[in-house]
Structure 1
Amino acid sequence: MTGRPAPRPLSPSPRVWLGLIAVLAALVVLVLGVLYAGHSEPGTVDRWFVRPTADTVRPPWRRVALAVDFLGEPAGAAMLVLGTVAGCLLLRSPRAAVFVVVGVGTTVGTTTLLKSLVGRTIHGDNLSYPSGHTAFATALALMVALLATGRLGIDGTAGASLVIAAALVAGAAMGWAQVALGAHYPTDILGGWCTALAVIPATAWLVDRTADRLVDRAADAGRPGRP
């Protein structure tokens, strides 16, 4: 034991601004969910962008969209998560590895629950809101960025900018693929992106609190005079 504290998924610096973003994102998810509950057609905002069809994008960009989409499918997502967890363990940061696993699980679980509650469909009875692929990609990028900026000591505006940029790029890339392939409406993409922004900060806080309590209990048990 070196006595050095384990790296935290959510360092004190970004807690306030990330918490505010999480609250705003949750409100967006709620508002969109209420607006499009039970719908089976694109809304007015969706039509501003594109009317989703099965052939919105043509080769060679269709192959790019399919490749990006694969990263959100079970096999592709599993590879990304396993690679990220392995990287955390190689860096001797088990708390970060737990954060990644719990964060992905919580995000996927939340989108699955919301889809059932909202009941918005596309191409028949396929539940579409919010986009689980977009939520997963955003969540993973957000977690990696939070861990990287924390480990490198990048705080303040620079750290916040990097974290948000990572989430935006990942969400935009996956969202483009989903709309291009006709799997989701544009507002589903926004809902998925905001779901990740709402869930991940809360997950980071929960992981930190739980890990800190376990560390404190272990320290108390190891003190002289304790049973």
Structure 2
Amino acid sequence: MAAQRSDEEAPPPLVRWSAFDGPVLPSALRAWLGVVSVLAALGVLALGVLYAGHSEPGRVDRWFVEPTADSVGQPWRRAALATDFLGEPAGAAALAVAIVAGCLLLRWLRAAVLVVVGGAVAVAATMLLKPLVGRTIHGEGNLSYPSGHTAFLTALALAVALLAAGRLGLGRVAATLLVLAAALAAGAAMGWAQVALSAHYPTDVLGGWCTALAVVPASAWLVDRVADSLEDKRR
């Protein structure tokens, strides 16, 4: 009786993952995003090896535009600066906090965790790769590959797209189109801003975009595994 009373009086767990939301990596996308993640990681590696130690734009960069201090004029420069701000510490924090707050208000705890983990891992990966690759722009101290700004905004867009695909119950084709469109839109917007402001070469931007594609699906899978494990332990 004492043991039974103790069990009845035990307080409920403070957090129940499954009560808030389902998996952040939709089952329809797991296999496809796994392939994309591996290919993206190989792309990051290949570009890093190709441009390791370089301090000038490569042939591919010259196909687009060689970044200069006045690559774009007004009013496009203001638009580029506004977009760039979303990858700066203050802007990135404000954007992430806003998305996380929205997830928590909707009781999507796994989603909030993915936004934080996905963005943080993407930025951390670029910070780790930059000194290893050693590519510079505008001087020895300006490491440029891969673009952390592009990786961060693409990572947030991917996280939000995955959440939308899961909540809307989209099929494989629709979910794939949504995720790809979100990643392309975010990567293109921030990539354009970085090249326009002469902060990165186009291939730096591509490397940052691929970095997000490599780490966000893995982060989503990890969040689901940890959440499911915690839920199993509570049962």
Same fold (TM > 0.5): yes
Paired residue for 1:206? Answer: 222
One-letter identity of the residue aligned with 2:188: A
Map residues 94-173 of structure 1 onto 2, 5 A cutoff.
94-124=109-139, 125-173=141-189
Deviation at 1:6, TM superposition (A): 2.8
Could you tell me which runs of 5 or more consecutive residues in structure 2 were left unpaired when the two chains were aligned. 1-15
Map residues 54-133 of structure 1 onto 2, 5 A cutoff.
54-124=69-139, 125-133=141-149
Paired residue for 1:47? Answer: 62
Residue 38 of structure 2: which of 7, 19, 23 is its match?
23
- Distance of 1:128 and 1:4 partners within structure 2: 43
One-letter identity of the residue aligned with 1:135: A
- Distance of 1:6 and 1:81 partners within structure 2: 19
CA RMSD of aligned residues (A): 1.4
Residue 11 of structure 1: which of 26, 33, 43 is its match?
26
Relative to the length of structure 2, the TM-score reads 0.91
Question: 2:231 matched to 1:215?
Answer: yes
| 8 Å Cα contact 1:7/1:96 also seen in 2 | no
Deviation at 1:19, TM superposition (A): 0.7
Question: 2:183 matched to 1:185?
Answer: no
Deviation at 1:87, TM superposition (A): 0.7
Relative to the length of structure 1, the TM-score reads 0.94
| 8 Å Cα contact 1:13/1:156 also seen in 2 | yes
- Distance of 1:113 and 1:210 partners within structure 2: 25
| 8 Å Cα contact 2:72/2:196 also seen in 1 | yes
Deviation at 1:156, TM superposition (A): 1.3
Larger radius of gyration: 2
Deviation at 1:9, TM superposition (A): 0.9
- Distance of 1:94 and 1:7 partners within structure 2: 9
- Distance of 1:118 and 1:215 partners within structure 2: 41
Could you tell me which runs of 5 or more consecutive residues in structure 1 were left unpaired when the two chains were aligned. 220-227
- Distance of 1:75 and 1:27 partners within structure 2: 31
One-letter identity of the residue aligned with 1:41: E
Q: Secondary structure at the match of 1:154?
A: coil
| 8 Å Cα contact 2:83/2:189 also seen in 1 | yes
